[in-house]
Every structure is written in C-alpha cells, then in structure tokens.
Amino acid sequence: PRHKCGNQKSCPQNYFAFKIISGAANVVGPSICFEDVVLMSSVKNNIGRGLNIALVNGTTGKLLKTDAFDMYSG
C-alpha cells in the first residue's frame, strides 16, 4: 500500500505525515512533503541554498510560510 509522502508506514490517527529530503550539493535539491503535499522542491522553484523551512500550523496542518536561510554567505 502507498503511504502519505512515500513513507514506509502510515502515521497513527491524529498525527501528520511528513518527509524531509536533504539535497546533494547542486545536483539534487531538497524537498519537504507534508500530508502528501509537496511544500518545497526544486520543481516548485521555492528552495534556496542553506536551510529550507516550511512553517505549518500544528493544529490545522495549514502551510503558513516557506523560506530559506543561506548559511554559507552568512
């Protein structure tokens, strides 16, 4: 069976499913999936160099904001 975000197991009831994949240099970009919806990826063109963050409401699961923090340039 297929599970949300391609996870190996289903999450228990009242829990959110998520998967965060780290990038590999400039070859493969990072991605963030939440409840089977890709929030950030190179395909969506909303990732950046450094730490990529998706802020989600912990009660509703609604996406509030995405951003990237460039840790290399300071």
Distance CA 48, CA 61 (A): 23
pLDDT for the residue numbered 56: 96
pLDDT in tens, the chain (74 residues): 899 999 999 999 999 999 999 977 677 889 999 999 999 998 999 998 888 999 999 999 999 999 999 888 76
Beta bridge partners of 37: 34
Cα(58)–Cα(45) distance, integer angstroms: 25
For the whole model, what pTM was predicted?
0.85
Cα–Cα distances in angstroms (integers) from residue 51 to residues 6, 35, 71, in the given order: 22, 21, 7
- 6: nearest Cα among 30, 43, 32: 32
